[in-house]
Structure 1
Amino acid sequence: MVVQEFTVDLDKPLVFQVGHLGETYQEWVHQPIVSKEGPRFFESDFWESLTRTVWWAIPVIWLPVVCWSISMSVRMGHTPPQIALMVVCGIFIWTLLEYSLHRFLFHINTKSYWGNTMHYLLHGCHHKHPMDGLRLVFPPAATAILCFPFWNLVKLFSTPTMTPALFGGGLLGYVMYDVTHYYLHHGQPTRKLPKHLKKYHLNHHFRIQNMGFGITSAMWDRVFGTFPQDAKAGEKSR
């Protein structure tokens, strides 16, 4: 008996279709469709609205939270140099979290119905439609939920007076990451560093999806051995 392979209908809401792809999902989701107009996810207008976020909402919503968090540590008596150091440490913590989430969670291999469905919502949709401008940044509602475990993580290795500034630094790192990510897809950089980052990230999308997990830098890719070989060759040729 021949089992007919499931085909996704791109003209219908996608989220509850992709799970049926089973073991072929990973191959399908890494065949990008380059279009600035993304697909519809849900039949429900309410749920659909939660999946779409304009890039400027990220700094507008979260920078005030960053300032408020840092101000808490200021009010607790820390000096400006101490605050600056804690914020920088928070940003550093975020860079490792950014890399780890992208490598170990966003690129997890799935084949079950709900595994494929959740992966598509979390990151697969970005690889399938990498130029969808309204699904490039993380929805604020989801970020708000993730702030709670991040706060508790910071609390594990810091004092009560340091936690707010470290958290604020980490959240600032996240804001920098999300707006940078949007720019790498839709901006036209002219300077050397952003041009290199854009090339590096698009290489991850269109050539080697299992390498180059850094977005704001390639630092952790170098540390953990996921720096693409062709990028190394390109550096040596310059």
Structure 2
Amino acid sequence: MTLRELVVAYFQYPAIIAYLLAAAVSVGFYVWRPAPLLNTAAAIGVAILFYPLAWYCIHRWVLHSRWMFKVPFLAATWKRIHYDHHQDPNHLEVLFGALHTTLPTIALVTAPLGYLIGGFGGACAAFATGLVSTCLYEFCHCIQHLSYKPKNKLLLAMKTRHMAHHFHDETGNFGITNYFWDRLFGTLYEKVSERKKSPTVFNLGYTPEVAERYPHVARLSGGVATGHPVTRIRR
């Protein structure tokens, strides 16, 4: 895949179109009721700084939690937003998060901070920043999962770390575009030789034994992910 082909494919995803439309609407509301310039800049800056931390926390302690699949009304959500992605990292239909979970999350992470800084206009500016940041994050996520090898060293390092997260040890490298918090919390690893291969890298701890007690995800998935994805038949 060439970079051109990747860009064309990226802008065809409904989720990306939805994020860009939502950002345009948020900017429109900002124009209608703007915040002072300094407050706007501060709201945008805080959103840019806080968003990677929020994503790290959600990725590590929510998506990689071992409690969501135990709750019947959360099992389907956990399966869709992360289990399916890990049991087959190359399954592009679940590459992007579900909009009914991502849009509220982006709003909750960014808008309240923006409101505290600049009122309604600040909230709109921060939310739009979160949406654009998500588009950037998803573009890098596409690079990491599609058959494209980036020439840029930074993007290549991102892809190497993320592939290690998916195929070697899922308990590290939680960042996608920003690994500062991985460094700070000690979850970053540069080489797979630094860690033992995780036996739960594809099922996130949802093993056949666990499924016997909490069968909700297994019923929806037609079983439990075991072994490397290439050895399994996608259902």
TM-score range normalised by the length of the shorter chain: 0.5 to 0.7
CA distance change for structure 1 residues 55 and 80 in 2, over 3 Å: closer, same or farther? farther
- Looking at structure 1, the residues matched to 115 and 38 of structure 2 have their Cα atoms a distance apart, in angstroms, of 23
Alignment TM-score, normalising by the size of structure 2? 0.65
1:175 aligns with 2:138: no
CA contact (8 A) 1:138 1:178 kept: no
Q: Which runs of 5+ in 2 are unaligned?
A: 1-9, 195-235
Q: RCO (CA 8 Å, sep 6+): is it higher in 1 or 2?
A: 1
- Looking at structure 2, the residues matched to 154 and 64 of structure 1 have their Cα atoms a distance apart, in angstroms, of 22
The within-5 A match list for 1:77-88 is: 77-78=34-35, 83-88=40-45
State the identity %: 23
1:195 aligns with 2:159: no
Question: 1:229 deviation in Å?
Answer: 6.5
User: Out of 182, 205, 213, which is 2:166 matched to?
Assistant: 205
Tell me the equivalent position of 1:122.
81
For the residue of structure 2 that corresponds to 1:167, the secondary structure is helix
Residues 138-177 of structure 1 deviation map (CA, whole Å, 9 limit, x = unaligned):
1223334445534664366333131111121122212221
User: Out of 122, 125, 130, which is 1:165 matched to?
Assistant: 125
1:178 aligned partner, one-letter code: E
Question: 1:77 deviation in Å?
Answer: 4.5
Choose 157-166 or 183-192, whichever is displaced more: 157-166
For the residue of structure 1 that corresponds to 2:92, the secondary structure is coil
CA distance change for structure 1 residues 169 and 69 in 2, over 3 Å: closer, same or farther? same
Which structure shows the bigger proportion of residues in helix conformation? 2
For the residue of structure 2 that corresponds to 1:157, the secondary structure is helix
- What is the Cα-based RMSD across aligned positions, in Å? 3.0
What is the number of residues matched between the two proteins? Answer: 181
Report which of the two structures shows the higher radius of gyration computed on alpha carbons: 1
- Looking at structure 1, the residues matched to 153 and 110 of structure 2 have their Cα atoms a distance apart, in angstroms, of 35
User: Out of 96, 99, 102, which is 2:59 matched to?
Assistant: 102
